[in-house]
Structure 1
Amino acid sequence: MLIRLVKMHFSADSVAKFKETFQAVQPKIAAFKGCSAVQLLQDNTNPDVFFTISHWEDEQHLEDYRQSPLFRETWAIVKPMFLSKAEAWSLLAP
């Protein structure tokens, strides 16, 4: 299993729109082939920082999602809201 962790820092005026967007696409991401879970977390001390944690069967399933229209359409909406560049890590559960 591959775990994808993405850290995103938004401008304060974009937080509500991001949450709304994520709520709409979360079920679609979770239903994507190879994805077993996707979760959104908000930083405890900075409410403008969010993390997504998604679980994938393997790197190829994640890459298929990253090349999908769903990802491209969602990214086109979300990316302009960033205050700084998103950071991402792919992790393996030991």
Structure 2
Amino acid sequence: MFVRIVKMSFHAENIPKFLENFNLIKEKIRNAPGNRFLELYQDKNNPEIFFTYSYWETEADLENYRQSALFDEVWTFTKQLFNGKPEAWSVDKIVSLK
């Protein structure tokens, strides 16, 4: 399992559109094959910056999602709201304390 972190920056006037759409599709993303966890964060100092944080079973699962009709629908809508280039990282969790 690995973690996918995506940083997105939006025009302030587009944030309500993004959040409305995210709320409509979050369960579909979370239920994509291989997805085990999904969260959305908003930066405390710059409210135009958001992060998604998700766990995926395998890189193939993430790639299958990225090639799906659902991802195409989500990304086509979301990318028109950006005010900067999104960034993404796939990382392995080394330590987790509870």
TM-score tier (shorter): over 0.9
Alignment: residue pair count: 94
The answer for unaligned runs of 5 or more in structure 1 is none
Residues 47-67 of structure 1 deviation map (CA, whole Å, 9 limit, x = unaligned): 110000010001110000000
> 2 CA distance for matches of 1:66 and 1:38?
15
Q: 2:29 aligned with 1:29, yes or no?
A: yes
Q: Report the secondary structure of 1:51's partner residue.
A: strand
> 2 CA distance for matches of 1:24 and 1:36?
18
> Which position in structure 2 is the counterpart of 1:6?
6
Q: Report the secondary structure of 1:38's partner residue.
A: strand
> 1 CA distance for matches of 2:68 and 2:77?
15
Q: Which structure shows the higher strand fraction?
A: 1
> 2 CA distance for matches of 1:85 and 1:62?
20
Pair member with larger Rg: 2
Residues 1-42 of structure 1 deviation map (CA, whole Å, 9 limit, x = unaligned): 110000000000000000011111110001010000111000
The answer for unaligned runs of 5 or more in structure 2 is none
Counterparts of residues 12-91 of structure 1 (less than 5 Å): 12-91=12-91
Identity %: 46
